[in-house]
Amino acid sequence: MTKTILTCAVTGNLTNPEMHPGLPITPEQIAKAALDAASAGASIVHLHVRDPETAKGSMEFALYDEMVTRIREKNTDVILNLTTGEGGRFVPGKEDPKIAAENSTLCRPELRVSHIEKLKPELCTLDLNTMWSGQATVINSPENLKIMAERIYAAGVKPEIEVFNSSDLHLLNHFVAEGVIKNPVMVQMVMGVRFGAPANSETMVYLKSQLPENAVWAAFGIGRMEYPMLAQSYVLGGHVRVGMEDNLYIKKGELCRDNAQLVEKAVHIVEELGGQIASTDEARQILGL
């Protein structure tokens, strides 16, 4: 059996300090959380940055640069997976819905990958979803995705394709046929987002059936479905992800201590099911990095 790659999604952009006082916000806090998650067993850390003043998701390059530098000063081995999800949200205006409201972040695709081109992590996300999310529409047009993918590959970075529904997999297969996305594909199934793919076994089995040939895939669940979907993904032959981007509780009614505790529990579950967690070198081999 192939060993299981464990990703830790450290902070995201939707959870907030009111939900958990220990949520990493500053580059220093995010870097420390990533290092602790790596020490606990994560071979990949998936990273966003946040505005230290507002705690909201940010696209500021200086924040990415500081975070990555802090991680690399202490750990040159853990695989970095930077988000390109920022810059894709459109909030319709109340008076005129075709005019963006104040919280819209939708921008040119080149801006969404500029930090990838400069920092050149081994991995970065490429979200294929266009859907309603929270109070905004996430918009990832095929044309913009083509521009982002071309620039990601030109930077020598492998995209982790994030899919939120079955339609995203139809688009992925179209992109693979066109050569926009290169085989072997790395896919992350996001399950349990409201109005996206529900977090249940039947849906995961179906999504797996629609994957491109030879795809390396993982899946994760949001909130209380984090660990049930982790177990289901392992059983179906997929890789796994946990972290405070997706879930803030270690068990019902009890906030997690930190990202490292979520990782420790994930390692325990995989090993109890008979699996082994991949080292960073093993993860690179599995992913073809």
> Over the stretch 55-106, which tens digit does the pLDDT of each residue have?
999 999 999 999 999 999 999 999 999 999 999 999 999 999 999 998 899 9
Question: What is the full DSSP assignment across 197-219?
Answer: --SSHHHHHHHHHTSPTT-EEEE
Whole-angstrom distance, CA of residue 141 vs CA of residue 87: 13
- pLDDT band at 1, cuts 50/70/90? low
Sequence-distant (≥ 6) Cβ neighbours of residue 69 within 8 angstroms: none
Q: Which domains does the chain have, with CATH numbers?
A: 6-287 (3.20.20.70)
A 10 A CB-CB count for 122 gives 18
Cα distance between residue 254 and residue 268, in whole Å: 18
Beta-ladder partners of 45:
8, 80
Percent of the chain clearing pLDDT 90 (strictly above)? 97
Model pLDDT for residues 202-246, shown as the tens digit of each residue: 999 999 999 999 999 999 999 999 999 999 999 999 999 999 999
- Asked if pLDDT for residue 2 goes beyond 90, the answer is no
For residue 113, pLDDT beyond 70: yes
Cβ contact 266:6 at 8 Å? yes
Asked if the peptide bond before residue 109 counts as cis, ω within 30 degrees of 0, the response is: no
3-state secondary structure of 95: coil
User: Which pairing describes strands 131-133 and 136-138: parallel, antiparallel, or unpaired?
Assistant: antiparallel
Which tokens go with 74?
Answer: 């202490």
DSSP 169: H
Three-class SS state of 186: strand
Answering whether pTM is above 0.85, one says yes
What does the pLDDT read at residue 135? 84
Over the stretch 153-212, which tens digit does the pLDDT of each residue have? 999 999 999 999 999 999 999 999 999 999 999 999 999 999 999 999 999 999 999 999
Distances (CA, A) of 11 to 3, 33, 136, 145, 212: 25, 9, 19, 24, 29
Given a contact cutoff of 8 angstroms between Cβ atoms, the answer to whether 123 and 158 are in contact is: yes
Q: What is the rounded distance in angstroms from the CA atom of residue 147 to the CA atom of residue 284? A: 26
Q: Residue 134: what pLDDT?
A: 82
